[in-house]
Amino acid sequence: MELLEKYSLSQLNTFHIEAKSKYFAEVSTTIDTQEASLFAKRNNLPVLILGGGSNILFTKDFEGIIIKPSKTGINIIDENKKQIFLEVSAGEKWDDVVHYAIERNYFGIENLVAIPGNAGAAPIQNIGAYGVELKDSFFSLKGFNIASEKWVELNKDECDFNYRQSIFKTELKDIFIIDSFILQLSKVPNPKLEYANIKEYFNNLKWESLTAQEIAVVIKKIRESKLPNPKILGNAGSFFKNPIISRDKFNQLKLINTDIPNFIAGINEVKIPAGWLIEKCGFKGKRTGNVGTYEKQSLILVNYGNAMGNEILQFAELIKSKVELKFGIQLEYEVNIK
């Protein structure tokens, strides 16, 4: 294991924020993982496990150790006539995993195409898009628990997945390094086309005839039409979660805001698009200095070139306060703030 000091993070986060980590270690073997973890534990250092840096905002230097899993590989571990099980290493690019599947017409993750970041972050965030979440195809994972100094395997239930949530953001936050996970994909066409834009596009086609790749191509086009390329315009995708509120709260809001969009989120619960709330508060395409909301999607905050992490956070806090004042809804960050 190579241990680096005062390591620049500007190329390791899609906001392109300049910050440094006191220590940095890239780990690609079980021995590397254990050594980096034990170094952190013995020196009582804060730990941050970093993947592709596509869901994080650095507001200051990190006074601990950043551990970046870099082992790659996609392997078939089991299959039958209807299903296939893929073991995915944490260091793989998530979009490469999707393309591996769709090129072989395996169904389950085609709606998650073109999501930036590394595969190891996918279970942490329970990534989701266009009516599909990672948990829908997730089987199990293995990783290293820094606190117990043990390698552990967890099944889907033990990962406690929820909307953009998992045990790795609560009980196991910053103490669990994901090494690899297993996806359970379908060889039988099983597309999820309920999302409005997708359903409209494929409305006149028989879904049984669609390939995973055909669906992914359409979804990628939809994403690219709405989302900025982080290589060109610094961003971390959706900055806020779509809030889930009670049916009673929604009914109260609808009396005043008759056009409020909504989706059923559970028994007596409704999900409201955060982007709609933000736009209704006057933030559509709004820019303050080097920070602003993306003109095509207000849910995304962008760095126009030279913003500091604190500038972006202050802008996000302003949005939160305005939304709460107007709608009585507290937005939650989807991005990890450090």
Q: Which of 197-201, 209-213, 258-262, 298-302 has the lowest mean pLDDT?
A: 197-201
The class that CATH gives domain 74-226 is alpha beta
Catalytic hit among 21, 37, 238, 298: 238
CA dihedral 141, 177, 57, 262 (to 10 degrees): 20
Q: What is the pLDDT of residue 322?
A: 98
How confident is the model over 286-310, as a mean pLDDT?
Answer: 96
The class that CATH gives domain 3-69 is alpha beta
Strand-pair partners of 24: 4, 66
Instruction: Report yes or no: 132 and 109 within 8 Å, Cβ to Cβ.
Output: yes
334 catalytic per annotation: yes
Q: How far apart are CA 209 and CA 211, in angstroms?
A: 7
Task: List, as one string, the DSSP characters of 187-226.
Answer: SS------SHHHHHHTTTS-GGG--HHHHHHHHHHHHHHH
At residue 200's C-alpha, the angle toward residues 194 and 202, to 5°, is 85
Catalytic hit among 87, 92, 110, 334: 334
Q: What is the per-residue pLDDT across 43-99, written as a single tens digit (0 to 9) for each?
A: 999 999 999 999 999 999 999 999 999 999 999 999 999 999 999 999 999 999 999
Stretch(es) of the chain classified as CATH 3.30.43.10? 3-69
Query: Is CATH 3.90.78.10 the classification given to domain 234-337?
Result: yes
225 catalytic per annotation: no
Catalytic hit among 137, 164, 166, 180: 164
**Eight-state DSSP code of residue 233:** S
Stretch(es) of the chain classified as CATH 3.30.465.10? 74-226
* This prediction's pTM: 0.92
Calculate what percentage of the chain has a pLDDT beyond 90: 89
Task: List, as one string, the DSSP characters of 64-79.
Answer: EEEEEE----EEEEEE
Average pLDDT, the chain: 95
Q: How far apart are CA 112 and CA 94, in angstroms?
A: 9
Stretch(es) of the chain classified as CATH 3.90.78.10? 234-337
CA distances from 105 to 14, 53, 119, 139 (A): 30, 29, 19, 19
Residues written for the chain: 338
Q: What is the per-residue pLDDT across 146-159, written as a single tens digit (0 to 9) for each?
A: 999 999 999 999 99
Q: What is the pLDDT of residue 203?
A: 72
34 burial type by CB count under 10 A (0-12 exposed, 13-18 middle, 19+ buried):
middle
Q: What is the per-residue pLDDT across 1-35, written as a single tens digit (0 to 9) for each?
A: 899 999 999 999 999 999 999 999 999 999 999 99
Q: What is the per-residue pLDDT across 273-295, written as a single tens digit (0 to 9) for each?
A: 999 999 999 999 999 999 999 99
Q: In this structure, what token pair is assigned to residue 264?
A: 């059923």
287 catalytic per annotation: no
